[in-house]
Amino acid sequence: MNRIFTALLAGAMVISLAACDSEAGQKQQVGTLLGAVGGALAGSAIGDGKGQMAAIAVGTLLGAGIGQEVGKSLDKADRLAMQQTMSGTLERSPSGQSSAWHNPDSGNSGTYTPQPAYQTASNQTCREFQQTITVGGKQESGYGTACRQPDGSWQIQN
């Protein structure tokens, strides 16, 4: 529980710093947040004992930097294609089967690969997934969990 709190706190601090930049757009802030959370989770898995806090901090900062660059490069059409592909994949795709999106105007692309669905204690359907994003020929990947909301949409949890 401490690791999750630390990761969220670090992510919030990074977002606060990004928000101070008047030219930082919404997509940069979203990219920064997603990168920070992903980096913090990776750091928590790598570190151990007292070194775990340092690994979380380093992972958060590195993830935030990478996420900000990816977010800066994604336009509205990219984000829409990503969201539609994620929702369709999580709703209908078998576990382990990747679904791809591609924006021919920007050249950006990505994939989502879902894992088996499961029910939470509150009876909410969730799925873990792997995501790749290719921007300017450079590919980044990450992992997350999304849960189906009462309106049928999928919301990323981490």
Reported as a single tens digit per residue, the pLDDT across 90-149 is: 999 999 999 999 999 889 999 999 999 999 999 999 999 999 999 888 999 999 999 999
HSE, side-chain direction, 13 A CA sphere, residue 44: 16
Quote the CA–CA distance of 73 and 59 in Å, as a whole number.
21
Beta strands in the chain (DSSP E): 99-102, 109-119, 125-135, 138-148, 154-156
The candidate with the shortest Cα–Cα distance to 147, out of 90, 73, 67, is: 90
Note the pLDDT of residue 75. Answer: 81
Of the candidates 113, 106, 64, the residue with the CA atom closest to the CA atom of residue 89:
113
**How does residue 1 score in pLDDT terms, banded at 50, 70 and 90?**
very low
pTM over 0.75: no
